Amino acid sequence: MATSSYFLLFAILVLASWQATASDPILVNGFVCKDPKDVKAEDFFLAAKLDMPRDTKTNKVGSNVTLINVMRIPGLNTLGISLARIDYAPLGENPPHTHPRATEILTVLEGTLYVGFVTSNPDNKFLSKELNKGDVFVFPEGLIHFQFNPNPYKPAVAIAALSSQNPGAITIANAVFGSKPAISDDVLAKAFQVEKKTVDWLQAQFWADNQN
């Protein structure tokens, strides 16, 4: 590496630099990593329209998660954070799910939300709270949690932040009963203490993700 030609990468914990002679883009964590001399404000920006209501009718649970992560803003790479707007139809919910790589902190912008999470084995303690506008709640990393809009007439809106640039999400019902291919009904029947035909019926439903 020529010592006279180097490039400082701004603001990353896992530092990156690259050779002056490189003609191809460099990847860090699989994302393009630009020469600091070439970065633009646009690399850290998205006209995400997080102020605009989202359609909550495209799935059966009545919610819509708009996640702004490293796939949307390349400059987030290695920086360990992302942001989301969540819309809830009346009686809609963001169903029980986990983020395998992130804690979530949420505040209610509109309406009310009934929220909760369950602690690990062996306690499996359920902690819940009704949130009003302006309230803040924390869902610790990896725990099963949900938000539910208890109001039958009014929608609700929340802003959530997650402690990863790519937090991932696993909707429990979808992963268990809607995986491709399906998990053996022997396994699920015993785990959920139901008949195999109940599992089969569940696996025949349409399981759609609520993230756009």
**Is 145 labelled a binding residue?**
yes
**Is 174 labelled a binding residue?**
no
Q: What is the DSSP letter of 84?
A: E
120 binds a second copy (CB under 8 A): yes
In terms of residues, how long is the chain?
A: 212
Query: In the structure encoding, which two tokens stand for residue 160, read together?
Result: 């959530």
Q: Which of 59, 58, 9, 64 is nearest to 38 (CA)?
A: 9
- How many residues of this chain interact with a second copy, rule: CB under 8 A? 140
203 binds a second copy (CB under 8 A): no
User: Are the C-beta atoms of 152 and 90 separated by less than 8 Å?
Assistant: yes
Pairing relation of β-strands 104-110 and 170-171?
unpaired
Query: In the structure encoding, which two tokens stand for residue 12, read together?
Result: 């990353």
Q: Residue from 57, 58, 191, 195 that binds a second copy (CB under 8 A)?
A: 191
**Is 93 labelled a binding residue?**
no
Distance CA 172, CA 50 (A): 26
196 binds a second copy (CB under 8 A): no
Pick out residues in 95-114 that bind a second copy (CB under 8 A): 95-105, 107-109, 114
152 binds a second copy (CB under 8 A): no
Q: Residue from 32, 57, 58, 195 that binds a second copy (CB under 8 A)?
A: 32
* Residue 85: CB minimum distance to a second copy, A: 8
Pick out residues in 9-28 that bind a second copy (CB under 8 A): 9-19, 26-28
* Residue 168: CB minimum distance to a second copy, A: 4
Query: In the structure encoding, which two tokens stand for residue 67, read together?
Result: 């996640």
Q: Closest CB to a second copy among 27 and 55?
A: 27
Q: Closest CB to a second copy among 154 and 172?
A: 172
158 binds a second copy (CB under 8 A): no
Distance CA 193, CA 40 (A): 55
Q: Which of 179, 178, 159 is nearest to 94 (CA)?
A: 159
